[in-house]
Chains A and B, each alone.
Chain A
Amino acid sequence: MELSALNINLFSVMPEILTTGLAIIVLIVDFFLGRKAKPALGYLSIIGLLIILPVAAMTAETAPSFGGTVMSDGFSAYFNVIFLIAAIFTILISMDYLEKTGIERGEYYHIILFATVGMMVMASANDFINLYVGLELMALSFYILVAFRVESSRSVEGALKYFVLGALSSGILLYGIAFAYGASGSTNLGEMAAGLGSGQDPFLVLGFILIIVGFGFKVAVFPFHVWTPDVYEGAPTPVTALLSIGSKAAAFAAFLRVFTVAFPALQPQWSEVLWLLSAATMIFGSVVAIAQKNIVRMLAYSSIAHAGIILIGLLVYNDIGMAGVVYYLLVYLFMNMGAFAVVTHLRGDAGGVMKGENISDYSGLVSKRPALAFLMALFLISLAGIPPTGGFAAKFFILSAAINAKYYWLASIGVVSTAISLFFYARVIFYMFVREPEAGVEQPGTGACYNVVLFCTAAGTIFLGIYPTPFIDLAIKAVKPFFM
């Protein structure tokens, strides 16, 4: 192949290049900083990410580059913005947390940046090999991040579980990719679709089922969700936030691109498989969340239930559904990050005893910290999908796509699971507002970093609910090329 035919366009991967460069700069600067000065790395990363953000938002090419392996279209730009914002918020809430838990080490920041690069590569990957590299970069970074509280046995336990199961799932995904390659003769998504024909090859079916399993693990879909609660609980809380938002969004981005670009011919088959997974995930996640006493585990199961609802948007296979997925993940970024910011702030081990772990620790929060309780209630109401918050608009788009595609039963199951989920979200709200506070839990004030995150996430949650127009239109535009 001629070199020019490869279309080597560095601008199409500029966000990735810049973020990698930033990570390397942070890595180098880290050597010259004393232990007490590590937060400087956080500020450096945030400034860098803020500069990259407009670049990422504007990087939207129409043609694939690098021999068709990279597709930096509006779709990947949308997701890159989600990842970058998630990384910025995560770093903002990390600086205080790391100090509080005594794990101020410089590598934390550049590993987060590398994880972000991995996500970005996944979102723009137009080739399975590229996709896999991005996935592994993200996963390896997260294995380290989850284990970051090395003194805590739960952190190590979570990391080990995540590593073993994550490696297994990566293997399964790779195995599926190999089958798909065997059936089609290419790893490029576009060429794969062309090489598949009618898709009656049994090995191909096996291949896409294995790929679903691989992705199902990353987005935490029942029955591949088992790692989620332990990992979420054990990991440093800001990492949990990034894991639940960034990793999920990246996996959904890749999921969406793979199934719409490479396997459109098999759509009836994979929709059927995903139907079952989605229904089971929604019901399982919301029912099990009711029984949780630990707030992070509850949020873990809630994130499983959300994954089930997002899957609806994918499997109905129309532009509204796909745009719904993208929009949902954008809203999820704000509402879940907000909830995790509150949890991160209240969680901490003072004197060896974990505080702010259990839902009962939230009793009477309103009398001690009215603003914090109010914001937490807002995030939970949005997660429950009550108007006029962003969570409702997102759910509305997904459900409307399901009704449009005549998936009435799935929409009904989604509705029932939403109703069940209201129960555990409302319980936390009632603990905060109705119960009397328990004596002896002292509450430190929120610093400027927290205030910025809480303000931005709350503003985003409300704005995306009241005026979704610009963002849903962008999302519809971003997914349009998949249905040409």
Chain B
Amino acid sequence: MTPNEVAAAWPVLSIITFLPAAGAIFILFLNREDTELIRWIGLGVSLFVFLLSLYLPLTFDASNPALQWVEKGVWIKSFGIQYYMGVDGISLLLVLLTTFITVICMLASWSDITDRLRAYMALFLFTETCSLGVFMAQDLFLFYVFWEAVLVPMVFIIGIWGGKRKLYSAIKFFLFTFVGSLFMLLGVLAVYYYHGDVTGLYTFDSTILALTPIAPEVQYWVFIAFFLGFAVKVPMFPFHTWLPDAHTDAPTAGSIVLASVLLKLGTYAFVRFSLPLLPNASVRLAPFMIGISLFAIIYGALVTIAQKDIKRLIAYSSVSHMGFVMLGIFVFNIEGLKGSIMQMINHGISTGALFLLMGMIYERTHTRMIGDYTGLFKQMPVYGVAFLVVALSSMGMPSTNGFIGEIFVLIGAFKASWLFAVVVAVGILLGAVYLLWLFQRVFLGTYSYTGRGTLQDLNFRETVTALSLMGLIFWIGLYPRPFLHVMDASLNRLVNQVEENYRQAGMRQNASKATAMASRTVFTPVKGSGR
């Protein structure tokens, strides 16, 4: 059976998406005293969803670039709104990342959270539903609904179980992302009406919208509207200020899901919607996007070096890492795109793991300051090794996952201009500086600890959680082929689509330039690919 026949038989994507929400509602009806039961059901649901989502890569047809397991249904007929879900090579890995990370979150909050556990577990499962929905929705309206809805549980997670300034951080996060998203809504509506006026077909179906490119002069405005929505979530440089606060004040699992899943929503949306729908604006504004991405890489890394709070340090490192992802998208070559998607996955794994490990030590000591720790390695060797591995992967050490992503982005950057590659290389170097320096300060030297009790090394649950992430780190690092392979076909199709739309829209704008446009390609051609 092909994936689409499977979807016709049973709606696998909808089941994966809405099962967590169903679990969340079930949990809300449990007795609040049964904390053990609530934990086990939370873990059980998320684990089941993860196992179910493993069905996707097993039946995925890697040679087919189109969306698979497609589900389509009319939702609001008079506005041409559909319930349209589908997964292709671009989103498959992100879907798996989401289901996997939710399991990690459940394990990470096992002993951390005792207050209002029911609501906590339910909110995490709701977050999972909404994030999965964002990665699967192919109808812009449906996409927007999930995109906004994911905010609400996350804001509550930060606001209720957060740290010292949780109220401030939660409201800041809420306002920043909400404002950006609303402008994106206007952009979506503009695309909708433009397409309707030109073709007579009013639809939010992104695959249909992408067939008729928008006139370049309209594209710029829409691009700005989309940019405001996506860039806040990524977050890109001037809009990143909510990130350190939200990450620092969120509970451990909240930070993990924020870094691993929520930041990816923005970069994924750039790839999925900005590129094919707005190719001319993307190309024209690429220098600007590249500029702020490069700036974010360096600026983020420099700010990271200066941090004294470990959680804040990891948070700022995300700004730098997401700069790599954005750069990969806008250098316009297939290596860059591939590296960028790989880097989304890697950042999800590595930074999620860093937050996880940070949470483990915070649970024991209740301090996040680098200055409060020294020589931990002697006291907690297992923890030290885990941290070292994750730190190395985060800085892109060969044989870890980080290397695969960064090398592709670096190649992509180099193809665009050697200057970009230099900046990227400096960024990678600075990454090594802050992570190794952090490791040195916290783990090396003579051990001294003045807090309560003696520090215990990782217990069984924590070791399993950390090991599962480390397994992924080495798997991607040593044998990345399956991961790269799934996205090949879809990325090639995306590249062709962008080229095609770019020329079509350009011709519509100016017939005399059409010939010049026709010979120009957006993406740097790959030698020997015959494209």
B76/A468 in contact, CB under 8 A: yes
B145/A469 in contact, CB under 8 A: no
B152/A399 in contact, CB under 8 A: no
> Given the known A-B contacts A468-B76, A473-B78, are A412 and B149 also in contact in the complex, defined by CB atoms under 8 Å?
no
B175 within 8 A of A: yes
B185/A426 in contact, CB under 8 A: no
B167/A434 in contact, CB under 8 A: yes
Instruction: Tell me which residues across on chain A come within 8 A of B151, comparing CB atoms.
Output: 386
Residue interface mask A405-428, B partner, CB < 8 A = 1: 000100110011011001100110
Residue interface mask B155-196, A partner, CB < 8 A = 1: 110011000001100110011001100110110011011000
Instruction: Tell me which residues across on chain B come within 8 A of A427, comparing CB atoms.
Output: 171
B527 within 8 A of A: no
Residue interface mask A37-49, B partner, CB < 8 A = 1: 0000000000000
A386/B159 in contact, CB under 8 A: no
B179/A387 in contact, CB under 8 A: no
Instruction: Tell me which residues across on chain B come within 8 A of A433, comparing CB atoms.
Output: 156, 159-160
B186/A430 in contact, CB under 8 A: no
Best-surrounded residue of B78, B149, B190 (most CB of chain A within 10 A): B78
B148/A392 in contact, CB under 8 A: yes
B167/A472 in contact, CB under 8 A: no
25 contacts between A and B (CB under 8 A): A387-B144, A387-B145, A399-B189, A400-B189, A403-B186, A403-B189, A403-B192, A403-B193, A404-B193, A408-B186, A412-B183, A415-B183, A415-B186, A418-B182, A419-B182, A422-B175, A422-B178, A426-B175, A430-B159, A434-B167, A434-B170, A469-B78, A472-B76, A472-B79, A473-B77
Residues of A contacting B: mostly: helix
Cβ-neighbour of B178 out of A419, A430, A434, A469 (below 8 A): A419
CB distance from A68 to the nearest CB of B (A): 31
Assembled-state Cα–Cα distance A19/B159 (Å): 48
CB distance from B467 to the nearest CB of A (A): 35
Residue interface mask A454-467, B partner, CB < 8 A = 1: 00000000000001
B437 within 8 A of A: no
Assembled-state Cα–Cα distance A426/B179 (Å): 14
B182/A430 in contact, CB under 8 A: no
B148/A386 in contact, CB under 8 A: yes
B75 within 8 A of A: yes
**CB closest chain-A residue, reference B182:** A415
Instruction: Tell me which residues across on chain A come within 8 A of B78, comparing CB atoms.
Output: 469, 472-473, 476
Assembled-state Cα–Cα distance A426/B174 (Å): 9
Instruction: Tell me which residues across on chain B come within 8 A of A434, comparing CB atoms.
Output: 159-160, 166-167, 170
**CB closest chain-A residue, reference B145:** A387
CB distance from A386 to the nearest CB of B (A): 6
Instruction: Tell me which residues across on chain B come within 8 A of A396, comparing CB atoms.
Output: 141, 185
Q: How large is the interface on B (under 10, 10 to 19, 20 to 34, 35 or more residues)?
A: 20 to 34
B193/A386 in contact, CB under 8 A: no
A residues contacting the other copy or chain, number (CB 8 A):
30
With A386-B178, A415-B186, A434-B159 given, name 7 new contacts (CB 8 A).
A388-B149, A392-B145, A412-B183, A415-B185, A434-B160, A469-B77, A476-B78
A386/B152 in contact, CB under 8 A: yes
Instruction: Tell me which residues across on chain B come within 8 A of A472, comparing CB atoms.
Output: 76, 78-79
Instruction: Tell me which residues across on chain B come within 8 A of A404, comparing CB atoms.
Output: 189, 193
CB distance from A57 to the nearest CB of B (A): 20
Cβ-neighbour of B152 out of A381, A411, A473 (below 8 A): A381
Assembled-state Cα–Cα distance A469/B83 (Å): 13
Instruction: Tell me which residues across on chain A come within 8 A of B75, comparing CB atoms.
Output: 467, 469
Instruction: Tell me which residues across on chain A come within 8 A of B193, comparing CB atoms.
Output: 400, 403-404
Instruction: Tell me which residues across on chain B come within 8 A of A476, comparing CB atoms.
Output: 78
Assembled-state Cα–Cα distance A415/B152 (Å): 18
Instruction: Tell me which residues across on chain A come within 8 A of B166, comparing CB atoms.
Output: 434
CB distance from A436 to the nearest CB of B (A): 12
Assembled-state Cα–Cα distance A400/B196 (Å): 12
**CB closest chain-B residue, reference A378:** B152
Instruction: Tell me which residues across on chain B come within 8 A of A392, comparing CB atoms.
Output: 145, 148
CB distance from A325 to the nearest CB of B (A): 16
CB distance from A402 to the nearest CB of B (A): 8
B170/A430 in contact, CB under 8 A: yes
> Given the known A-B contacts A387-B144, A434-B159, A434-B166, are A426 and B189 also in contact in the complex, defined by CB atoms under 8 Å?
no
A388/B192 in contact, CB under 8 A: no
**CB closest chain-A residue, reference B192:** A400
A419/B76 in contact, CB under 8 A: no
Instruction: Tell me which residues across on chain A come within 8 A of B79, comparing CB atoms.
Output: 400, 472
Rank and list the top 7 A-B pairs by shortest CB-CB distance, nearest first: A403-B189, A387-B145, A415-B182, A419-B179, A387-B148, A469-B76, A400-B189
Assembled-state Cα–Cα distance A427/B170 (Å): 10
Assembled-state Cα–Cα distance A418/B186 (Å): 13
> Given the known A-B contacts A386-B149, A388-B145, A433-B159, are A399 and B185 also in contact in the complex, defined by CB atoms under 8 Å?
yes
Instruction: Tell me which residues across on chain A come within 8 A of B175, comparing CB atoms.
Output: 419, 422-423, 426
Assembled-state Cα–Cα distance A411/B190 (Å): 11
**CB closest chain-A residue, reference B156:** A433
Residue interface mask A370-409, B partner, CB < 8 A = 1: 0000000000010000111000100010011001100010
B152/A412 in contact, CB under 8 A: no
Best-surrounded residue of A387, A392, A408, A469 (most CB of chain B within 10 A): A387
**CB closest chain-A residue, reference B151:** A386
Instruction: Tell me which residues across on chain B come within 8 A of A418, comparing CB atoms.
Output: 182
B77/A426 in contact, CB under 8 A: no
Instruction: Tell me which residues across on chain B come within 8 A of A399, comparing CB atoms.
Output: 185-186, 189
Assembled-state Cα–Cα distance A476/B76 (Å): 13
**CB closest chain-B residue, reference A387:** B145
**Could you tell me which residues of chain A, from 466 to 483, have a CB within 8 Å of some CB in chain B?**
467-469, 472-473, 476
CB distance from B37 to the nearest CB of A (A): 19
**Could you tell me which residues of chain B, from 484 to 510, have a CB within 8 Å of some CB in chain A?**
none
**CB closest chain-B residue, reference A434:** B159
Instruction: Tell me which residues across on chain B come within 8 A of A411, comparing CB atoms.
Output: 186, 189
Assembled-state Cα–Cα distance A221/B39 (Å): 51
Assembled-state Cα–Cα distance A400/B185 (Å): 9
Instruction: Tell me which residues across on chain A come within 8 A of B170, comparing CB atoms.
Output: 430, 434
**CB closest chain-A residue, reference B187:** A403
Assembled-state Cα–Cα distance A433/B166 (Å): 12
Instruction: Tell me which residues across on chain B come within 8 A of A426, comparing CB atoms.
Output: 155, 171, 174-175
Best-surrounded residue of B170, B174, B182 (most CB of chain A within 10 A): B182
**CB closest chain-A residue, reference B75:** A469
Assembled-state Cα–Cα distance A434/B78 (Å): 41
**CB closest chain-A residue, reference B159:** A434
Assembled-state Cα–Cα distance A386/B167 (Å): 19
Instruction: Tell me which residues across on chain A come within 8 A of B76, comparing CB atoms.
Output: 468-469, 472
